[in-house]
């Protein structure tokens, strides 16, 4: 029992030693009316004597910003003069410099002035950059140039961050409460610490292809809605937020090359251009003959190319294949109707003409006359067949196939009148 009491006393003494006089509870620790995150505005009475040493910062700017900086520099200079900061624009070196003076009271304002000239060199407009001098405004310059190696991929992802007609960038500015400017290899952002943290995460996820900015916008919109509900103030919001899974896109499989068997001997030396000319005999030709040979080869290549192009052009003018029509067999009935016979004859004519065209398209004019003569004879037979009486038993195929015989009209005998 005594041992246990001694251990408890030692533990109590150690605890008492750990707690010092500064660890005592203060009366303002539990005051609900105090906002510990509020940044109070600087009062010059806090530092009436000013600064002991001169601090200065300078930054260079690109040449295309020179004209704009010359125009807006008087406004920037007057804004910095209110806080006791001296500003200098050097057009020869292409640099901007800010430094403290005897009138400077706020020791942190020189850091704000340094950020201001950084933003001006990053193509941020002067009215927007001057807001950097406020205590509640902070800035962050995110470097994105080293996040992607491929130039085309880098431009594509940077454009994804801006969106069509800058719609994605505007949505991010509204939801985060920050001013965002995408310029070259950097993204400049101005706003509160909370908003800047969100912007940095969105930009890095976009450039590293982890998550599209649109999904971040959806999450931020849901968080804005959840903030309005006081019941969910102290609860975890993960169950309400959407979870986006990255889909693995199937990439092309790289064909592995077959490994050749290892040999310690080097490969045979390839013949040089001069060796090839010596073998073919071109080396001993004069310059004039060499040029003539080159010209001849060029002409041959051109001729091959022209014939190929001509063939491709003429492919569009090749006539289509003619379809064959099978001849329709006439009905061998006793009473054959005249229209059906005409249809049979007409189909046979078409069949013969098509067969004749497909057999030889380059026939002479005499062959064409034979076809026309054949068509005329068939028409004559059709007319003669129509004149026959329907009561007669006539086979149409046999009638047409029979050779044309010229039938002379029979002369009637004149009766002699005997007086």
Q: Which two tokens stand for residue 172?
A: 């991010």
Task: Please state, rounded to an integer, the average pLDDT across all residues of the chain.
Answer: 80
Q: Give 417's pLDDT tier (boundaries 50, 70, 90).
A: very low
Rounded average pLDDT over 243-267 = 77
Q: Which two tokens stand for residue 74?
A: 């008087």
| Percent residues over pLDDT 70 in the chain | 71
Q: What is the pLDDT of residues 180-225, one digit of tens each?
A: 999 989 999 999 999 999 999 999 999 998 899 999 999 999 988 8
CA distance 23 to 209: 48
Q: What is the pLDDT of residues 142-192, one digit of tens each?
A: 999 999 999 999 999 999 999 999 999 999 999 999 999 999 899 999 999
Q: What is the pLDDT of residues 91-142, one digit of tens each?
A: 999 999 999 999 999 999 999 999 999 999 999 999 999 999 998 899 999 9
**Predicted local confidence at residue 240, as pLDDT:** 83
**Predicted local confidence at residue 333, as pLDDT:** 45
Max avg pLDDT among 8-22, 154-168, 232-246: 154-168
Bigger pLDDT: 244 or 60?
60
User: Burial level of 269, CB count in 10 A (0-12/13-18/19+)?
Assistant: exposed
- Give the length of the chain: 419
Phi, psi values for residue 141, rounded to 5°: -110, 110
Q: What is the pLDDT of residues 313-338, one digit of tens each?
A: 888 887 776 555 454 454 444 444 44
Under a CB-based contact definition with an 8 Å cutoff, are residues 277 and 283 in contact? yes
pLDDT at 378 over 80: no
E strand segments, 67-226: 85-90, 95-100, 138-143, 179-183, 186-191
**Predicted local confidence at residue 336, as pLDDT:** 45
């Amino acid at each position: 029992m005594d041992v246990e009491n001694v251990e408890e006393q030692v533990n109590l003494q150690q605890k008492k030693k750990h707690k010092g006089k500064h660890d005592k509870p203060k009366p303002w620790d539990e005051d609900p009316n105090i906002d510990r995150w509020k940044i109070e505005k600087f009062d010059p009475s806090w530092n009436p004597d000013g600064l002991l040493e001169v601090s200065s910062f300078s930054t260079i700017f690109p040449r295309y910003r020179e004209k704009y900086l010359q125009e807006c520099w008087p406004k920037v200079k007057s804004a910095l003069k209110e806080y006791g900061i001296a500003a200098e624009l050097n057009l020869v070196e292409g640099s901007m410099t800010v430094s403290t003076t005897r009138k400077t009271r706020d020791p942190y304002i020189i850091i704000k002035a340094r950020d201001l000239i950084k933003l001006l060199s990053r193509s941020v407009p002067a009215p927007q950059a001057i807001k950097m001098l406020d205590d509640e405004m902070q800035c962050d310059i995110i470097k994105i140039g080293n996040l992607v190696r491929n130039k085309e991929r880098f431009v594509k992802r940077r454009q994804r961050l801006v969106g069509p007609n800058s719609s994605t960038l505007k949505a991010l500015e509204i939801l985060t409460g920050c001013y965002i400017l995408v310029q070259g290899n950097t993204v400049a952002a101005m706003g509160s610490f909370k908003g800047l943290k969100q912007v940095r995460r969105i930009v890095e996820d976009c450039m590293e292809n982890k998550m599209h900015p649109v999904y971040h916008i959806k999450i931020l919109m849901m968080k804005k809605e959840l903030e309005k509900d006081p019941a969910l103030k102290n609860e975890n919001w993960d169950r309400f937020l959407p979870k986006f899974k990255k889909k693995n896109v199937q990439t092309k499989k790289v064909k592995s090359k077959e490994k050749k068997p290892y040999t310690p001997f080097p490969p045979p030396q390839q013949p040089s251009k001069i060796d090839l000319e010596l073998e073919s005999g071109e080396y001993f030709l004069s310059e004039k003959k060499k040029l003539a040979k080159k010209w001849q080869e060029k002409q041959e290549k051109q001729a091959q190319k022209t014939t190929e192009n001509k063939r491709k052009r003429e492919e569009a003018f090749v006539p289509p294949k003619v379809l064959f029509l099978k001849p329709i067999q006439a009905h061998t009935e006793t009473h054959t109707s005249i229209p059906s016979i005409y249809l049979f004859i007409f189909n046979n004519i078409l069949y013969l003409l098509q067969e004749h065209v497909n057999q030889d398209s380059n026939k002479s004019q005499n062959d064409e006359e034979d076809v026309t003569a054949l068509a005329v004879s068939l028409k004559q037979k059709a007319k003669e067949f129509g004149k026959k009486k329907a009561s007669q038993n006539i086979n149409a195929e046999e009638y047409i196939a029979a050779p044309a015989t010229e039938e002379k009209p029979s002369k009637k005998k004149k009766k002699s009148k005997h007086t």
